[in-house]
Structure 1
């Protein structure tokens, strides 16, 4: 298993769409279907790549972006140098009190320190954070609340 394997698991899901409102195989697996599913998608990818995130919101990982943010903040997992396979927590809406409103998996820098690619669930070609699709997105650093090394890879990567 490797970070590359994790990215391949995410890439294999490219083009997957929800049925009806937020109904997905990811939500079904997680045990919470019909809700916004970006974090559930990230949890699913890590699990199926052999790197389960463990108990955050539920035993299979996280479904609420602010919970993930607080969990990894408390564990000291934030990084300024994201590597492929790290988690991204976004703050697109900059709402008072909201610390993260979307998440994805870092793939690579397009322009270091400025723009990057990320695998995301529940997004769209317009960059929506509730868009119903799995796809590779181009994003900018100004939307990032935190890059996270979730400490599931061990030290041999």
Structure 2
């Protein structure tokens, strides 16, 4: 009976073995990186979606006030005063408060645009939050977005509804055509420069602050 030949064990090439293991490690690292990036992208998209929804809410409240006239009971509600002050900043404050995102805690009414009184102004408020974009006439790195608070050099303010190319669309309080009572009204400008824009406040800072859980009160020390 002929002898059976023993199967010859092929020696595995060490180089191929090391290469295979290295490839497996690389694939694992790539999968891990994409998993992390995917999670980050989903979180970013979610945050942007939330902010879009909240900005839409600001516009909804603002447009709901269209037509209220200077000196009306509604305008006195904006200002909280019995006299008749300039009320464009009060209108912005009221809209933000009634959208659920007050500009500041406590006294939520900010009475001025960029100068005086001691009770505060919109420009300084947004600067203190790192959320103010100055406009110098050059192309802005980031255009104002719907819901942002636009500031004009004539000490006037409003809320951005959209940008369409160079055109700026707003809704403003204490605004109107010459010879007619001022009111809450939509306004269109051919460009930021033509509108006399000095800058704008990014309301993301206000929205995110309003979304933060209230910090627990400090317990008295024994």
So what's the TM-score if we normalise by structure 2? Answer: 0.56
**Quick check: 1:120 aligned with 2:172?**
yes
For residue 18 of structure 1, report the CA deviation from its aligned partner.
1.7
2:143 to 51, 57, 81: 81
The structure with the largest alpha-carbon Rg is 2
**Quick check: 1:59 aligned with 2:107?**
yes
Of structures 1 and 2, the one scoring higher in RCO (CA 8 A, sep 6+) is 1
What corresponds to 2:31 in structure 1?
Answer: none
How far, CA to CA, are the matches of 1:117 and 1:38 in structure 2?
16
What corresponds to 1:39 in structure 2?
Answer: 89
Q: Would you tell me which structure has more helix in proportion to its own residues?
A: 2
Query: Can you give the 5+ residue segments of structure 2 that lack an aligned partner in the other structure?
Result: 1-52, 115-120, 134-141, 212-222
Comparing 74-83 with 37-46, which one deviates more in the overlay? 74-83
Q: Would you tell me which structure has more strand in proportion to its own residues?
A: 1
Residues 147/12 of structure 1: CA separation in 2 closer, same or farther (3 Å cut): same
> How many equivalent pairs are there?
139
How far, CA to CA, are the matches of 2:130 and 2:86 in structure 1?
26
For residue 24 of structure 1, report the CA deviation from its aligned partner.
4.5
Query: Can you give the 5+ residue segments of structure 1 that lack an aligned partner in the other structure?
Result: 93-100
What corresponds to 2:192 in structure 1?
Answer: 141
For residue 154 of structure 1, report the CA deviation from its aligned partner.
1.8
